[in-house]
Structure 1
Amino acid sequence: MFADFLSRLFRPDPGRLPDDDARLALGALLVRLARADGEYAHEEAERIDRILAARYGLSPADAHALRLRAEALEAEAPDTVRFTRAIKDAVPYEDREGVIEALWEVVLADGVRDEAEDGLLRLVANLLGVSDRDSALARHRAETRRNA
């Protein structure tokens, strides 16, 4: 279903992804992180919908539809290392930094900081080229919003 998208993403020089493709790829990362602990909680799926709606100015129905497509892409995407590196090559740093913040929101959505999710998030931040400092600041912003 996503073979053409994945082949474009894994070209030797993918160039910048069109907005729709970037949304889908980044949504798939959110889903991958939510599934990392072996449980894909309803709260995590709802948080992903809210993140996608807020980040991209989507209606709740459109955000939900994007998440469903992202879930399907995540299931077909290759290993996290290759998938994340391909996204890094195609998405500007500022957008990647925002993705880390969104990923922290997903980790915190079910109220449990699972070791598998934490480990995957650290790996993804590193592979996206987001510094430890920027990742920590993103986590702090996500925690502040959650506790507000």
Structure 2
Amino acid sequence: MFGDFLRRLAAPGPDPLPSEDARLALAALLVRVARSDGHYAEAEMRRIDRILALRYGLSPFEAVALRGRAETLEAEAPDTVRFTRAIKDAVPYEDRHGVIEALWEVVLADGARDHDEDALLRLVANLLGVNDRDSNIARQKVEARQG
């Protein structure tokens, strides 16, 4: 279903993705982070829906539909690098901190931090060009909002 999309992500020196594809890549990355601990909780799904609705001005129905497409894409994608490369190309550096905050929101949505989620988030932040310090600041902001 998403074979062409994945081929475009894997192409050497791909062109920047259209905004709809960049949305799908971010949504799939949010799903990947949520699934990384082996438990994809309802709270994580609701948080992803909320993030997508707020970030892209989607209705609740549209956000759920985008998450559904992202769940399928995430399951078919062999690695995380494809998503991060697409996001890095589509999102200016100063806005990537918001992406990291969104990822931390998903990690913390179920009330528990897992080693696998932390490890994946460290990798993703690095692939997006965001250092550990800034990722930790993003996590602290999310914890303060939730807390």
Is the TM value for this pair above 0.5?
yes
User: Does 2:102 align with 1:99?
Assistant: no
Q: Distance in 2 between matches of 1:56 and 1:120?
A: 24
Q: By how many angstroms is 1:28 displaced? A: 0.3
Instruction: Classify the secondary structure of the residue corresponding to 2:62.
Output: helix
Change over 3 Å in CA distance of 1:136–1:47 after alignment to 2: same
Which stretch shows the higher mean deviation, 7-16 or 20-29?
A: 7-16
State the 1:53 CA deviation.
0.5
Report if the CA contact (8 A) 1:101-1:138 is conserved.
yes
Structure 1 residue 13 displacement after superposition: 1.6
Q: Distance in 2 between matches of 1:30 and 1:110?
A: 14
| Structure 2 partner of 1:2 | 2
1:30-67 deviation line (CA, Å, top 9, x unaligned): 00000001000000001000000011111100000000
More deviation in 38-47 or 10-19? 10-19
Which one is further off, 7-16 or 33-42?
Answer: 7-16
Unaligned runs of 5+ in 2: none
Query: Given the superposition, is the C-alpha separation of residues 97 and 25 from structure 1 closer, same or farther in structure 2, using an over 3 Å criterion?
Result: same
Whether the 8 Å contact between 1:17 and 1:91 is mirrored in structure 2 is: no
SS in 2 for 1:123: helix
Q: Partner of 1:128 in structure 2? A: 128
Work out whether residues 44 and 109 of structure 2, in 8 Å CA contact, stay in contact via their aligned partners in 1.
yes
Contact 2:34 2:106 in 1 (8 A): yes
Structure 2 length-normalised TM: 0.92
Moved >3 Å (runs of 4+): none
1:28 is paired with a residue whose SS is: helix
Partner in structure 2 of residue 59 of structure 1: 59
Structure 1: runs of 5+ lacking an equivalent: none
Match of 1:12, SS?
A: coil
In the alignment, the residues of structure 1 paired with residue 54 and residue 18 of structure 2 have an alpha-carbon distance, to the nearest angstrom, of 19
RMSD of the TM alignment (CA)? 1.5
